[in-house]
Structure 1
Amino acid sequence: MCDRNVWVCDSFEGLPPPSGEYPADAASAFHDDSELAVSLDQVRANFESYGLLDDQVRFAKGWFRDTMPLIDVGEIAVLRLDGDMYESTIDPLNYLYDRAVSGGWIVVDDYRLLDCCQAAVHDFASSRGFEPDLVSIDHVGVYWRKA
């Protein structure tokens, strides 16, 4: 597809320490797990190894709360979230959900694995006055189609 971009938004440094703003993340220790930090160079190399790295792949490096308000992603057909935390799930929803087109897909990787991700989805949907029609992908992830 020549008219679509793929945005890869990540800190490439692992996960942020819990913020007092989001109590659901208070017990999270993911920020201490160095295995969750994959460098931008490694991610680029992975795209390259599959022949997927071209001018349509864009990278936004940094914490979601800092980078997402600044990037102009245009319309989104598929919004895939793998944030492992309440903050890292609700922030992309807050910043990018309105960019998802009607009929677009929202995918949340950790929905059934981490209560904080499930809470973020439900808090977001409740704040917007809708109930997502969730479909299980596997024992962990879910998706829904935006109305």
Structure 2
Amino acid sequence: MSDYQAVEGPASSKIRARIRLDFKGTARSRRIFGGKSIEKAAEEAREYNVAMFRNIPIQGLTINDIDLGMEVYTVFDDVSNAECAYAPVVLDVSADSVEELLKLVTREDFRKIEILSPPQLMVSRYELERLFFRLSEEMRHYRNYLERKYNLR
């Protein structure tokens, strides 16, 4: 049982949110035949991740709906000095607690979150402490990931 309480009462014990993730497609070295466009790479990344969301349960989260209706878009990336494409997806999720939402909002492809219900939450100090601890852990893991990624190049 979670330490937060929905202001509406115990009937709404889950947090419902809409989360947008944009999956990146990067340019591969183009060969004469068989080279993929960055848009196609982004679409494939989106399809792969959506299949994972549909087939692999995430503890504390229920995926109610997956919206793939948004178009792939292309931007110039200053870091890699090349064009890259992003394929957005919007997840409608129900979470047991605020802490469970961190699994999605700390992802590299996270872009936006909208809390649909409840309209207000009361968070106990213990849940807030756990939330900050979990956020710190996720940031530490992400920092290690970035160090490995950029030190290996």
Larger Rg: 2
Return the TM-score normalized by structure 1: 0.32
Instruction: Give the TM-score of the pair, scaled to structure 2.
Output: 0.31
Structure showing greater relative contact order (alpha-carbon pairs closer than 8 Å, 6 or more residues apart)? 2
